[in-house]
């Protein structure tokens, strides 16, 4: 991961003691979501180019996309210091948001790189 997800350090966190009532700051949440979307799109594009250059086809390519997304999720979780709930309201946010949005970008750049390297 490069420096594109550097801004989620500013998220709020009230107190981990007895954290039974959620205290979220909507603005910071939105910022975190933006960072996630940004990282995902970035990774999807980079992953697409890599998959194309490697010449992955059919199912392998999609598995590669899935792997890239899993790596992104893990990296984001690590960035959040493995305490998702102090930065986001649910796990789904980190794991699923932007998954399908990134797919189109992935396919585009995959095709592009694949065609340029392997077809012509």
Partner 1 sequence: MAEDLVLDTAIRDWVLIPLSVVMVLIGILRYFVSKLMRSSTQPDPKIIKEGQVIIRARNLRAGANYIPAKSFRARKVYYSNEENGLLHVPKGQAQNPQAQMFSDPNMAMDMMKKNLSMIIPQTLTFAWVNFFFSGFVAAKIPFPLTQRFRTMLQNGIDLSTVDVSYVSSRSWYFLNLFGLRGLFSLILGEENATDDTQRMMQMSGFGFDPSKSLGAEKDGLDIIQHDWALPKFEQRAEAVLRKLVK
Partner 2 sequence: MVTRTEEEEVNRLENQVENGGGGAWEYLCLVHKLKLRRSDLVLKHGLSILNDSKKRSALGPEEWTLYEQVAVAAMDCQSLDVAKDCIKVLQKKFPGSKRVGRLEAMLLEARGLWSEAENAYSSLLEENPFDQVVHKRRAAMAKAQGNTSAAIDWLNKYLDLFMADHEAWRELAEIYVSLQMYKQSAFCYEELILSQPTVPLYHLAYADVLYTLGGLENLQMAKKYYASTIDLTGGKSTRALFGICLCTSAIAQLSKGRSKEDKESSELQSLSAMALEKDYKQRAPSNLSVLSSTLRSLKI
Cα distance between residue 18 and residue 4, in whole Å: 33
44 binds, options partner 2, partner 1, none, Cβ within 5 to 8 A by partner type: partner 1
- Residue 23 near partner 2 by CB under 8 A: yes
- What part of residues 70-109 is at the interface with partner 1 (CB under 8 A)? 101-102, 104-109
Containing H/E element for 73?
Answer: helix 58-79
Contact letters for partner 1, residues 1-40 (x by CB under 8 A):
--------------x-xx-xx----x-------x--xx--
Q: How many CA atoms lie within 13 A of 85 on its CB side?
A: 9
State both tokens at 41.
Answer: 């799109």
Interface region with partner 1, contact rule CB under 8 A, candidates 56-64, 66-74, 75-83, 89-97:
56-64
Among the listed residues 14, 30, 83, 90, the single contact to partner 2 using CB under 8 A: 14
**CA-based nearest residue to 9, from 43, 42, 32:** 32
């Amino acid at each position: 991961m490069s420096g594109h997800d550097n801004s989620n350090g500013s998220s709020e966190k009230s107190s981990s003691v007895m954290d039974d009532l959620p205290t979220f700051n909507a603005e910071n949440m939105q910022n975190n979501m933006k960072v996630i979307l940004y990282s995902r799109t970035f990774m999807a594009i980079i992953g697409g180019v890599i998959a194309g250059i490697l010449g992955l086809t059919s199912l392998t390519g999609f598995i590669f996309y899935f792997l890239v997304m899993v790596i992104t999720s893990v990296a984001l979780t690590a960035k959040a210091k493995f305490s998702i709930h102090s930065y986001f309201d649910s796990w789904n946010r980190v794991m699923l948001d932007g998954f399908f949005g990134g797919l189109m970008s992935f396919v585009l750049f995959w095709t592009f790189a694949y065609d340029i390297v392997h077809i012509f």
